[in-house]
């Protein structure tokens, strides 16, 4: 069965303290891996799509990387405004639309 597991569940960082979030997946024939950011009371906001092992994408202080079994979201020198829950998702089964989400990593950045 396709599964997406994120770790850690929660991450508390000091402003400027870089760290990484992990998303491991078990799915046959990966058709892309998505990262989203979700703020309390809001819907997920799209960040990145990764398609193949070795691919990297960056946006401001965030960089996402992909291997054959997992993806990492690196947060470099985070600021308090980076505090959010970060979700990863992969398409489930043989289709490209039914996303399976992990439970997310809640990041809190203290000033």
Partner 1 sequence: GAGVSQSPRYKVAKRGQDVALRCDPISGHVSLFWYQQALGQGPEFLTYFQNEAQLDKSGLPSDRFFAERPEGSVSTLKIQRTQQEDSAVYLCASRGDSYEQYFGPGTRLTVT
Name the minimum Å distance from CB 100 to partner 1. Answer: 8
Tokens coding 33:
């891996």
Task: For 47, list phi and psi in degrees, rounded to 5.
Answer: -115, -60
For residues 17 and 32, which CB has a smaller minimum distance to partner 1 in the complex?
32
Name the minimum Å distance from CB 42 to partner 1. Answer: 6
Nearest alpha-carbon partner for 93 in 33, 27, 32, 35: 27
Tokens coding 104:
């997310």
For residues 44 and 78, which CB has a smaller minimum distance to partner 1 in the complex?
44
For residues 8 and 16, which CB has a smaller minimum distance to partner 1 in the complex?
8
Task: For 76, list phi and psi in degrees, rounded to 5.
Answer: -100, 125
DSSP labels for 49-64?
EE-STT-EEEETTEEE
Name the minimum Å distance from CB 91 to partner 1. Answer: 9
* Tokens 């799509």, residue located: 49
Name the minimum Å distance from CB 16 to partner 1. Answer: 28
Q: Which residues here bind partner 1, judged by CB under 8 A?
A: 4, 32, 34, 36, 41-46, 49, 87, 89, 92, 95-104
For residues 43 and 54, which CB has a smaller minimum distance to partner 1 in the complex?
43
């Amino acid at each position: 069965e396709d599964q997406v597991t994120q770790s850690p569940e929660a991450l508390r960082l000091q402003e400027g303290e870089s760290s990484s979030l992990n998303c491991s997946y078990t799915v046959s024939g990966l058709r892309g891996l998505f990262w989203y950011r979700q703020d309390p009371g809001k819907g997920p906001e799209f960040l990145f799509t990764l398609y193949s092992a070795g691919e990297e994408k960056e946006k401001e202080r965030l960089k996402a990387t992909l291997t054959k079994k997992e993806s990492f979201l690196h947060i470099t020198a985070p600021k308090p405004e980076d505090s959010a829950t970060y979700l990863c998702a992969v398409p489930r089964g043989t289709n490209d639309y039914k996303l399976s989400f992990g439970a997310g990593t809640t990041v809190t950045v203290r000033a």
